[in-house]
C-alpha cells in the first residue's frame, strides 16, 4: 500500500478537504454501527485459519459440544490434538478450480479493434502478468466472495495501472441513486527515528478510504474507524481519462448476500465436509491404536451421549444414574451389566473417507475422484464434458464477472495509447471451451465448426487476437499450400494414368505390353 500511496501522491491533485463542499455526505458517516463486524468477516477469518493450518480449534468446537467441553472432568483436548490430522483440502480444491478456469487473453472481435490496438493490448496483458492476475482473481472469488482492485495512474510509465486490495478490508458498499461508495480500511506501520534522543519507534495505524464516482477520500490515522478523529483528510481526484468512473474494479461472486452488496463465499460450503474428512482420517489413526476393539463392561452406569464420541476409536463417557447416587458404594442394589464393543473395521473407515472426498468434490464442482478413476481409461472428451457441467457454469460466471469488471480499465489503456480514443469499454472474449483443455480438443472443435460452416478460418484467427495483416499472411500461406498440394495431386494422378505396364515373357519370346489403352494386341506387332 505504501507503493500505491507514493504513486497516487505523485500523479494526482490533492484538495483541501475543508474547501470541498460536495463532501457533505461524508460528514454524515459517523460511527453508528455501520462498520461493525459481520458474518463475512468471521467466514473469511475461519477460511484463512483453515488454509494456514490452524484448523484444530475449529474442528474441536465443531465436533465437541460446549457442554461436553465444560463438564468433562478430564481434559481430552490435548489427546484430541495428538490424534488430529489436518489436510489442507480447501486450498487444494481452490487451486484446482483456479488452474482449470481458462485465462481470457483475447478481445471480442465484434469491437473491431485496429491491428495496432490489438497488438498494444496484447503487450499490456503480458506486461501486467495477466495470467497470474486471472488465477489470483479466481482464488479470491472462491475464498472471499469478492475481489477488488484500485485503479491509479503511474507517472513513470505514463499509463493507468491497478493494485490489488484486501477483500476482507472492504468494510461496506453503499449504493445511492447517483453514486456508489466503497468504504475500505487500510493498516500500515508508521516508523519514527529521533537521532538526538536515540529513540526508534513504530506503531500500527488505520486509514479509512472512501471510493466514489470521480474521486476518493483518505482519512489518515483514524481511531476506531471514526472519520472525525482523522489527523489528516484529503481528496484525490480521478485523472482526466478516468472522468467520473469509480476508481475501483469490483469482481463480484456468483450469488449476492441477503441485504448486502457483497457476494457469498463459496468456500464456506466446503468447510463441513472438510471437517468430516479430517475426522475420518483422525479416526483411522486412532483406530490403529485400538485395533483390538476393546470391550467396555459397565456396572450401574449409563451412557452419557452429551460427552461421548461414538466413533471408531473414540471416547465413551459413563455416568452413574441419579437414582443410585444416594446409595453408598457398599450398599448398592443388585446391578445390571452393559457391554459396549467397537466393531468398525479399517476398511469401513476407508470407504467413509472415499465417500466424504467424493461429496466434497461434488460441492466444489469438480469431478469426484472415484468417477475420475472410472473415466481414466476413456478418451472421450464428450463424456468428460458432461460431468464438467457444474464447473463450466461456475467458470463462465467468473469469466463474465472479470470481463465486466475490467472493461473500463482496458479502455483506459487504449486512451493512454491513443489520446483520441473514444472507447469507454473494451471487453475480453470468453472462450467457447470453459474448462482448460489440451490443444487437440481446441483444434478439433475449431475444425468441426469450420467443416459445418459455423465459422471461417479468418473469423477464428480474428478471435485469437491476430491482426488483419497477420490473418492475410496466414491465409496467403494457406492458399499457397493448398495450391501446391492440388498441383502435386494432379501430377501424381496423370503419372499413374500414363504409366506403361510391361510384362516380358522370355520363355517363348512373347512380350505383352499395354500401351496407352490403345486396344491393340502387341503380340501382332512382333511380326
What is the β-pairing status of strands 248-251 and 147-154?
Answer: antiparallel
Least-confidence region, from 186-190, 285-289, 512-516: 512-516
Contact status, residue 137 vs residue 147, Cβ threshold 8 Å? yes
Q: Which of 10-14, 85-89, 95-99, 318-322 has the highest mean pLDDT?
A: 95-99
pTM for the model: 0.71
Q: What is the pLDDT of residue 448?
A: 75
* 3-state class (DSSP) for residue 237: strand
Question: Across residues 439-450, what is the average pLDDT?
Answer: 69
- % residues pLDDT > 90 (the chain): 32
Q: What is the pLDDT of residue 526?
A: 43
* Residue 516 clears pLDDT 70, i.e. is over it: no
Buried-exposed string 385-413: b where 16+ CB fall within 10 A, e elsewhere: eeebeebbebbebbbebbbbbbbbbbbbb
Q: What is the pLDDT of residue 494?
A: 64
Q: What is the pLDDT of residue 148?
A: 97
Least-confidence region, from 15-19, 153-157, 186-190, 273-277: 15-19
Least-confidence region, from 47-56, 199-208, 264-273, 501-510: 501-510
- % residues pLDDT > 70 (the chain): 69
Instruction: Quick: pLDDT tens for 16-59.
Output: 444 444 555 555 544 444 444 468 888 999 999 999 988 888 88
- Dist CA 254 CA 431 (whole Å): 19
Contact status, residue 59 vs residue 282, Cβ threshold 8 Å? no
Neighbouring C-beta atoms of residue 236, cutoff 10 Å? 20
Contacts of 28 (CB under 8 A, 6+ apart): none
Distance of CA 85 to the CA centre of its chain: 26
- Dist CA 406 CA 412 (whole Å): 10
Q: Which residue has the higher pLDDT, 272 or 34?
A: 272
- Dist CA 327 CA 322 (whole Å): 10
- Dist CA 266 CA 364 (whole Å): 8
What integer best gives the mean pLDDT of the chain? 77
* Residue 402 clears pLDDT 90, i.e. is over it: yes
Q: Cα-Cα-Cα-Cα dihedral of 89, 94, 95, 101, to 10°?
A: 150
Q: What is the pLDDT of residue 9?
A: 43
- Dist CA 168 CA 148 (whole Å): 10
What is the β-pairing status of strands 501-505 and 510-514?
Answer: antiparallel
- Dist CA 299 CA 92 (whole Å): 48
Instruction: Quick: pLDDT tens for 140-184.
Output: 999 999 999 999 999 999 999 999 999 999 999 999 888 899 999
DSSP 140-205: HHHHHS-EEEEEEEETTTTEEEEEEE-GGGEEEEEE-SS-EEEEEEEEEEEEEEETTTTEEEEEEE
* Nearest residue to 142 (alpha-carbon basis) of 184, 104, 86, 90: 90
Q: What is the pLDDT of residue 424?
A: 93
Least-confidence region, from 72-86, 204-218, 411-425, 499-513: 499-513
DSSP 28-76: T--SSSTTS--HHHHHHHHHHHHHTT--HHHHHHHHS-HHHHHH-SS--
Task: Give the dihedral sign, CA 501/506/512/516.
Answer: positive
- Dist CA 262 CA 257 (whole Å): 6
Contact status, residue 185 vs residue 227, Cβ threshold 8 Å? no
* Nearest residue to 183 (alpha-carbon basis) of 329, 394, 35: 35
pLDDT band at 509 (very low <50, low <70, confident <90, very high): very low
Instruction: Quick: pLDDT tens for 64-115.
Output: 777 777 766 566 777 778 778 888 899 999 999 999 899 999 999 888 888 8
- Dist CA 104 CA 401 (whole Å): 12
Cα separations in angstroms, 445 against 97, 442, 473: 23, 5, 23
Contacts of 194 (CB under 8 A, 6+ apart): 200
Q: Cα-Cα-Cα-Cα dihedral of 469, 472, 473, 478, to 10°?
A: 160
Contact status, residue 205 vs residue 187, Cβ threshold 8 Å? yes
* 3-state class (DSSP) for residue 233: strand
The residue whose grid cell reads 476482507 is: 168
Query: Burial, 149: exposed, middle or buried (Cβ in 10 Å; 0-12, 13-18, 19+)?
Result: buried
- Dist CA 434 CA 385 (whole Å): 10
The residue whose grid cell reads 478481445 is: 107
- Dist CA 101 CA 79 (whole Å): 42
Instruction: Quick: pLDDT tens for 101-112.
Output: 999 999 998 888
Amino acid at each position: 500500500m505504501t507503493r500505491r500511496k507514493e504513486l497516487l501522491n505523485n500523479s494526482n491533485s490533492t484538495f483541501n478537504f475543508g474547501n470541498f463542499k460536495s463532501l457533505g455526505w461524508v460528514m454524515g458517516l459517523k460511527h453508528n454501527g455501520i462498520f461493525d463486524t459481520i458474518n463475512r468477516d468471521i467466514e473469511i477469518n475461519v477460511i484463512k485459519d483453515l488454509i494456514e493450518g490452524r484448523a484444530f480449534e475449529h474442528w474441536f468446537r465443531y465436533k465437541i459440544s460446549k457442554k461436553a467441553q465444560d463438564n468433562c472432568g478430564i481434559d481430552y483436548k490435548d489427546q484430541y490434538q495428538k490424534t488430529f490430522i489436518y489436510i489442507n483440502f480447501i486450498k487444494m480444491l481452490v487451486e484446482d478450480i483456479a488452474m482449470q478456469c481458462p485465462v481470457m487473453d483475447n478481445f471480442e472481435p465484434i469491437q473491431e479493434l485496429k491491428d495496432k490496438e490489438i497488438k498494444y493490448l496484447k503487450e499490456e496483458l503480458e506486461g501486467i502478468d495477466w495470467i497470474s492476475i486471472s488465477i489470483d482473481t479466481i482464488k479470491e472469488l472462491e475464498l472471499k466472495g469478492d475481489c477488488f482492485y484500485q485503479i491509479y495512474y503511474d507517472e513513470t510509465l505514463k499509463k493507468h495501472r491497478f493494485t490489488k486490495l484486501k477483500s476482507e478490508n472492504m468494510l461496506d458498499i453503499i449504493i445511492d441513486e447517483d453514486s456508489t461508495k466503497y468504504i475500505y480500511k487500510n493498516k500500515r506501520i508508521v516508523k519514527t527515528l529521533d537521532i538526538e534522543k536515540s529513540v526508534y519507534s513504530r506503531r500500527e495505524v488505520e486509514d479509512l478510504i472512501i471510493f466514489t464516482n470521480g474521486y476518493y477520500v483518505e482519512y489518515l490515522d483514524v481511531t476506531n474507524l471514526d472519520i472525525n478523529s482523522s489527523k489528516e483528510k484529503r481528496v484525490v481526484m480521478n485523472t482526466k481519462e478516468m472522468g467520473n468512473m469509480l476508481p475501483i474494479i469490483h469482481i463480484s461472486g456468483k450469488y449476492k448476500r441477503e441485504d448486502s452488496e457483497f457476494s457469498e463465499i463459496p468456500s464456506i460450503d466446503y468447510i463441513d465436509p472438510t471437517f468430516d474428512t479430517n475426522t475420518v482420517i483422525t479416526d483411522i489413526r486412532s483406530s490403529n491404536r485400538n485395533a483390538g476393539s476393546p470391550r467396555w463392561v459397565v456396572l450401574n452406569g449409563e451412557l452419557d451421549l452429551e460427552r461421548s464420541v461414538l466413533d471408531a476409536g473414540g471416547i465413551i463417557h459413563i455416568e452413574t444414574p441419579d437414582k443410585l447416587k444416594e446409595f453408598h458404594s457398599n450398599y448398592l442394589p443388585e446391578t445390571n451389566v452393559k457391554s459396549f464393543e467397537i466393531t468398525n473395521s479399517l476398511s469401513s473407515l476407508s470407504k467413509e473417507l472415499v465417500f466424504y472426498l467424493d461429496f466434497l468434490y461434488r460441492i466444489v464442482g469438480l469431478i469426484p475422484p472415484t468417477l475420475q478413476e472410472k473415466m481414466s481409461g476413456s478418451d472421450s472428451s464428450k463424456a468428460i464434458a458432461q460431468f464438467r457441467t457444474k464447473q463450466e457454469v461456475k467458470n463462465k460466471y467468473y469469466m463474465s464477472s472479470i470481463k465486466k469488471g475490467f472493461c473500463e480499465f482496458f479502455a483506459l489503456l487504449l486512451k493512454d495509447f491513443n489520446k483520441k480514443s473514444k472507447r469507454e469499454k473494451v471487453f475480453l472474449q470468453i472462450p467457447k471451451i470453459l474448462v482448460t483443455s489440451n490443444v487437440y480438443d481446441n483444434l478439433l472443435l475449431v475444425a468441426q465448426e469450420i467443416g459445418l460452416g459455423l465459422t471461417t478460418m479468418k473469423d477464428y484467427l480474428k478471435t485469437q487476437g491476430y491482426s488483419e495483416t497477420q490473418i492475410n499472411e496466414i491465409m496467403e500461406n494457406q492458399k499457397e499450400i493448398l495450391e501446391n498440394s492440388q498441383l502435386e495431386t494432379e501430377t501424381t494422378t496423370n503419372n499413374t494414368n500414363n504409366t506403361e505396364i510391361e510384362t516380358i515373357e522370355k520363355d517363348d519370346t512373347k512380350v505383352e505390353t499395354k500401351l496407352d489403352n490403345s486396344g491393340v494386341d502387341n503380340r501382332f506387332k512382333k511380326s
